[in-house]
Chain A
Amino acid sequence: MIEYVDILLPYITTILLISSIYAIFSLGLNLEWGFTGLINFGHVAFLAIGAYTTVMFNMSGFPLFVSVIAGIVLSGFFGLLLGIPTLRLREDYLAIVTIGFSEVLRFILLNEQWLTRGPFGIHGFGRPLQDVIPYQHYNTFLLILYLVILVIVYFALERLVRSPWGRVLKSIREDEAVSSALGKNVFWYRLQSLMIGSAIAGLAGAMLAFYISYIDPNTFKPIETFHAWIIIILGGTASNKGTIVGALVFCTFLSVTQFINRFLPFTAHQMGAFRMIVIGLLLMILMMYKPEGIFGKKEELALSD
């Protein structure tokens, strides 16, 4: 019995830690897509910028807190840079530019070794209170810290999307012509949404770096962006609560299915593909029977008209 607890508790802690990081990462995308209707296929780029900035600032001697803030600000700034040329155009341009940007960025991280150590990755950077917390309890501490951050981000976003500001975002998602006919500066609101969404992804990047204590460019493959999309669709587009639950469900599923291959005649590689097939199937079933997601409102379903 005791042994089970010893194995199970760290395991659950791990799932919750990963879930909380994915939840925050996806909350950023949910602001962009769920509330504003922006199609961002390169969200992972901002995760990478947040992670690398935080880590590199810290390695050059800045305190952790300052490094994290730098990561958040720089992610938001890159959101601004990408938004300025694309957000005046149709939605699909942002999708194309962002997915391109995230891949270009990954190759820069891979090739500019003088800056990022390329494929060798970076480790040995500081983690929050690592000298104070005993090593065996460190993940528990990190989990508590991350849950606190998640709660703060959640309530911050809830306040925003329920404010008149959020109402303008939703109106842009529905029909930007109406928003501008009513005197709203559509471009500026889209830009704000992209900047904040990217900054939140940057925060998630810093959290990811602290948790895995090692980052390399392959941590930031395009699939991470689509994981966030799955989480949002699963949980319910335009629902922050749904996004958090979606992250939990998704991460639990990914993790638990790692054990199933004991019962299935698959190699590890095949198992990875099999998991994606199952996820795809589940999403299809979800779309057929509950297209608005777990917590989404049917009336606000952003996928149909």
Chain B
Amino acid sequence: MKVSLTVNGKPMSGEVEGRTLLSTFLRETLSLTGTHIGCDTSQCGACTVHVDGKQVKSCTIFAADVAGAQVTTIEGMANADGTLGRVQQAFQDHHGLQCGFCTPGMVMASAALLAVNPKPTEAEVRHHLEGNICRCTGYHNIVKAVMAASGQDVSMAAE
């Protein structure tokens, strides 16, 4: 079947089977390979995207189910002029990524948190990111980056 939707502000469409996951559709059909697949049990969060503004693990939803929706992926998070968006810039400034594999999911999850909770506490950030696994950073600089992106002083995050 054909599915049409808006991805990163652009209308897109492609042929899918009923069983095709949104993560597969993004990567294989639309070649948006910034969305990563790190597990097969919907635990790791590397495939996190926004569907109509809400944070969704794209491996938990069928492509056919998002027909007509507005989907945002990591490729759509930069500013219009191509510079890094607010959350992306905070991740670079605070070394919130190492190998980069979990990073797209972390950025999408963090942006979704800040959209509903503009000044989260450290505990709220850590709680919100429980569905996103990172093996490189020990989370220190990710949490710091998210708090910095919210405009908060991060000097309490001991260096």
User: Is the pairing of A and B real?
Assistant: no
